[in-house]
Amino acid sequence: MDTIFALATAQGKAGIAVIRISGPQARRVVEDLSGVQPPERGMTLRTLRDPDGNRLDDALILTFTAPASFTGEDVAELHLHGSTAVVAQVLRILSDHDALRMADPGEFTRRALENGKMNLTQVEGLADLIDSETEAQRKQAQAVLSGKLGHLADRWRRDLIRAASLLEAVIDFADEEVPTDVTPEVRELLQGVLGDLDREVAGSRIAERIRTGFEVAIVGPPNAGKSTLLNALSGRDAAITSEYAGTTRDIVEVKMELGGLPVTLLDTAGLRDTGDYVEGLGIARAKERAARADLRVFLSDTLDGLDVAMTEGDIHVRPKADLAGGASDGVSGLTGQGMDRLVDDIARILSDRSSGAALATRERHRLAMSDARDYLIAAQEVLESGPERYDIAAEELRSAIRKLEFLVGRVDVESLLDEIFSSFCLGK
Ligand X SMILES: Nc1nc2c(ncn2[C@@H]2O[C@H](COP(=O)(O)OP(=O)(O)OP(=O)(O)O)[C@@H](O)[C@H]2O)c(=O)[nH]1
Name which position in 169, 334, 377, 426 contacts ligand X (CB under 6 A): 334
Nearer to K ion, 130 or 323 (CB): 323
Is 242 known as a binding-site position?
yes
**Least distance between ligand X and beta carbon 258 (Å):** 20
The one-character DSSP state at 389 is G
**Nearest alpha-carbon partner for 69 in 32, 107, 22:** 22
Nearer to ligand X, 222 or 387 (CB): 222
Contact (CB, 8 A) for 124 and 420: yes
Is 203 known as a binding-site position?
no
Is 224 known as a binding-site position?
yes
Distances (CA, A) of 339 to 214, 257, 333: 19, 15, 7
Q: Which residue is nearest to K ion (CB)?
A: 247
Name which position in 22, 204, 248, 332 contacts Mg ion (CB under 5 A): 248
Strand partners, 48: 57
**Nearest alpha-carbon partner for 266 in 300, 298, 218, 299:** 218
Name which position in 294, 322, 396, 405 contacts ligand X (CB under 6 A): 322
Distances (CA, A) of 99 to 80, 93, 282, 407: 21, 12, 58, 36
H-type alpha helices, 47-147: 84-96, 107-114, 120-131, 135-145
**Nearest alpha-carbon partner for 394 in 165, 156, 153, 155:** 165
Name which position in 332, 353, 365, 406 contacts ligand X (CB under 6 A): 332
* C-alpha–C-alpha distance, residues 123 and 71, integer Å: 12
Q: Does 333 bind ligand X (CB under 6 A)?
A: yes
296-301-305-307 Cα dihedral, nearest 10 degrees: 0
What is the radius of gyration, based on Cα positions, of the chain?
29
328-334-338-341 Cα dihedral, nearest 10 degrees: 160
Q: Does 228 bind ligand X (CB under 6 A)?
A: yes
Is 301 known as a binding-site position?
no
* C-alpha–C-alpha distance, residues 169 and 373, integer Å: 23
**Least distance between K ion and beta carbon 220 (Å):** 11
Supply φ then ψ for residue 257, to 5 degrees.
Answer: -105, 125
323 binds, among K ion, ligand X, Mg ion, none (CB under 5 to 8 A by kind): ligand X
* C-alpha–C-alpha distance, residues 156 and 174, integer Å: 27
Is 248 known as a binding-site position?
yes
Q: According to CB under 6 A, which residues from 232 to 251 bind ligand X?
A: 241-243, 245-248
Q: Does 73 bind ligand X (CB under 6 A)?
A: no
Is 245 known as a binding-site position?
yes
Name which position in 119, 227, 234, 337 contacts Mg ion (CB under 5 A): 227
* C-alpha–C-alpha distance, residues 190 and 184, integer Å: 10
* C-alpha–C-alpha distance, residues 181 and 345, integer Å: 55
Supply φ then ψ for residue 81, to 5 degrees.
Answer: -65, 135
Per-residue x/- mask for ligand X, residues 352 to 371, rule CB under 6 A? --------------------
Q: Stretches 61-69, 173-181, 218-226, 320-328: which one binds Mg ion (CB under 5 A)?
A: 218-226
Q: According to CB under 5 A, which residues from 198 to 257 bind K ion?
A: 223, 247
Is 269 known as a binding-site position?
yes
**Least distance between Mg ion and beta carbon 333 (Å):** 10
Nearer to ligand X, 86 or 315 (CB): 315
**Least distance between ligand X and beta carbon 90 (Å):** 52
What residues are designated binding site for (6S)-5-formyl-5,6,7,8-tetrahydrofolate? 20, 77, 117, 428
Binding footprint of Mg ion on the chain (CB under 5 A): 226-227, 247-248
Residue numbers belonging to the annotated binding site? 20, 77, 117, 223-228, 242-248, 267-270, 428
> Applying CB under 6 A, which residues contact ligand X?
222-228, 241-243, 245-248, 269-270, 320, 322-323, 332-334
Which residues would be at the binding site for K ion (CB under 5 A)? 223, 247
